[in-house]
Amino acid sequence: MTGFHPVEAIGIADCRLRIADCGLRIADWNAKSTGTMNAEIFKKRTKAYALRVMHVVESLPDTRTGRVISNQLLRCSTSVGANYRAAARAKSQADFISKMGTVEEESDESLYWMELLIESGLAERECLADLMAEGNEILAMVVSSIRTARVRRNE
């Protein structure tokens, strides 16, 4: 797949954060040109999202609040990709819908913790804007996939 290269951490001086540049910008996805997102591409995308969050978490202050939010954000953001992989191996349409519901919840929770980082002053909005945009796109694709699966189940 073109545009995909190893994780390279880049410093963002204004934000005091090191955020991973995984080479996985939205415009780089083959899906953009074809209009489709297959399971393997989405697996890579959710893994890259988790890796980027890991870099953010490592840059947060080692305070009680920083540790709590870091742990929560790390748990749910890495769960997005892990649960998607489980959904891709679902045994039935109902199983897929159920597992994708978990992916939806974890995606939304990741966004919640990033919002708290911003509102608490632990991170600046500009530092998390791209990561939150990616999280919102992942969430939107998951919700769309669930809706499509429900329609197909009821056909």
The residue-averaged pLDDT of 112-130 equals 96
The 3-state DSSP class for residue 11 equals: strand
In a domain, 79, yes or no: yes
Report the alpha-carbon distance of residue 5 to residue 95 in Å, rounded. 33
pLDDT of residue 107: 98
pLDDT at 153 (0 to 100): 84
Could you read off the pLDDT of 4-51 as tens digits, one per residue? 333 333 333 345 444 444 433 333 334 444 456 789 999 999 999 999
Give the ranges where 17-63 is alpha helix by DSSP (H). 30-34, 39-59
* Mean pLDDT in residue range 128-151: 96
Residue 21 phi, psi dihedral angles, 5° rounding: -105, 95
- Over 60: is that where the pLDDT of 58 sits? yes
Q: Poorest-confidence range of 35-44, 68-77, 118-127? A: 35-44
86 in any annotated domain: yes
With pLDDT > 90 as the criterion, what percentage of the chain qualifies? 72
User: What mean pLDDT value characterizes the chain?
Assistant: 83
90: its two tokens: 């679902």
User: What is the per-residue pLDDT across 86-106, written as a single tens digit (0 to 9) for each?
Assistant: 999 999 999 999 999 999 999
The reported pLDDT for the residue numbered 125 is 95
Q: Are residues 48 and 29 in contact, defined by beta-carbon separation less than 8 angstroms?
A: no
- For residue 135, give its domain range: 8-154
Residue 26, domain member (yes or no): yes
CA 116 to chain centre: 16
| Domain assignment of residue 1, yes or no | no
Mean pLDDT for 145-154 is 91
Q: 42 Cβ partners below 8 Å, 6+ apart? A: 84, 141
Whether residue 54 lies inside any domain: the answer is yes
The enclosing domain of 112 has a CATH number of 1.20.1440.60
Counting the structural domains of the chain, the total is 1
Return the pLDDT at 42.
Answer: 96
The pLDDT value given to residue 36: 65
